[in-house]
Structure 1
């Protein structure tokens, strides 16, 4: 047991590096051999932590999920329910991508395209994370509607779909075109969309 905290620390270092690699090269770009070379450790040592490439991929997704929670979701939950929380979620996401918390931008944007048509445990884990995010955005929007901060006829599912599309487009354009204006365009689009949906046009909470 004495070695367990040390083992956990080593595993966390491995998985953080794995998440960085996957954000750029995809989960299929991960291998125990590549991680061993990058981190200067033995393949056999790494194999002892994960046992298979699939287990490494699943553990990497869990690590990325924890980082996403810390960077995007938890800070937004400190804001009271309502339009302010919706705006904070969107801003946190843009900031997380823009600051390159993962060097390849949003980890989940990168791996979703890779696994969206592949059945299996890895696809299921990626799909679950994506669904959790979209449900959270939808629920946050619906809270704002119920509080009277968005119009009564606001379709929370539709608005969440559109806001997430703006976020992902900003991420993609920044990466693909090295566009320094992509995030500000995303912010402008989100602000206009939310302003148009507010119950009170003067409410920019």
Structure 2
């Protein structure tokens, strides 16, 4: 086997492991993903699984990186062509809420769940999810400042407060969808976002 082919196959195996870890973590929590379970599900040895990451923590971080990339593609990339400001934000939050209500077995928000799981546990995983959510808040704040510049929001408005409230809507939607299985949660969340941003629709 050539070194190039070996590297490609190794990368493919690593991707399979991370994808299965993501699937398990959505239902059992990131800490609940064990090397033994992954090995069994993938038909691999435990050494074969851990050999791609070195430690369970490294596997958790790789899974989290995958979740961040999924979020970027599902939410941020989908609204890139929408006019900046309140319209883009309304659409972005709508995409986020829709992704929480996804019928493909990944209900809820992975990052929100991991944040709750690790918020009181200092370490690299907590740091990584904090960085991801802080990046999202910075994105929201940037769009809000653009909205102020465009005259869509008042100049004397509190951007930090609005970021807090918008993210609060998303957190409420996550709990209503994940815990209460409320079919009205996505629509309620969209209406709340529209009201906070002062836009007519969250197209």
Shorter-chain TM-score above 0.5: yes
* Deviation of 1:71 (Å): 0.5
Match status 1:35 vs 2:38: yes
Out of 2, 7, 10, which is 1:7 matched to? 10
For residues 83-121 of structure 1, give each alpha carbon's deviation from its aligned partner in whole angstroms, at most 9, with x where no partner exists.
Answer: 211111111101111115662420011110111111111
Task: Kindly tell me the number of residue pairs found equivalent between the two proteins.
Answer: 200
Query: 1:104 & 1:37 partners in 2: Cα distance?
Result: 24
* Deviation of 1:78 (Å): 2.2
Match status 1:54 vs 2:57: yes
Mapped contact 2:194–2:201 kept (Cα < 8 A): no
1:17 maps to which residue?
20
Query: 2:190 & 2:202 partners in 1: Cα distance?
Result: 14
Unaligned runs of 5+ in 2: none
Out of 92, 95, 101, which is 1:92 matched to? 95
Structure 1 segments (4+ residues) deviating >2 Å? 202-205
Q: 1:39 to 1:179 in 2, by over 3 A?
A: same
Query: 1:14 & 1:203 partners in 2: Cα distance?
Result: 40
Unaligned runs of 5+ in 1: none
For residues 144-200 of structure 1, give each alpha carbon's deviation from its aligned partner in whole angstroms, at most 9, with x where no partner exists.
Answer: 1111111222221111111111112111111111111111111111112222xx6xx
1:154 maps to which residue?
157
Range with bigger deviation, 177-186 or 79-88: 79-88
* Deviation of 1:70 (Å): 0.6
Query: 1:178 & 1:130 partners in 2: Cα distance?
Result: 24
Query: 2:22 & 2:135 partners in 1: Cα distance?
Result: 19
Match status 1:131 vs 2:134: yes
Mapped contact 2:100–2:177 kept (Cα < 8 A): no
2:188 maps to which residue?
185
Query: 1:6 & 1:67 partners in 2: Cα distance?
Result: 22
TM-score, normalised to structure 1's length? 0.90
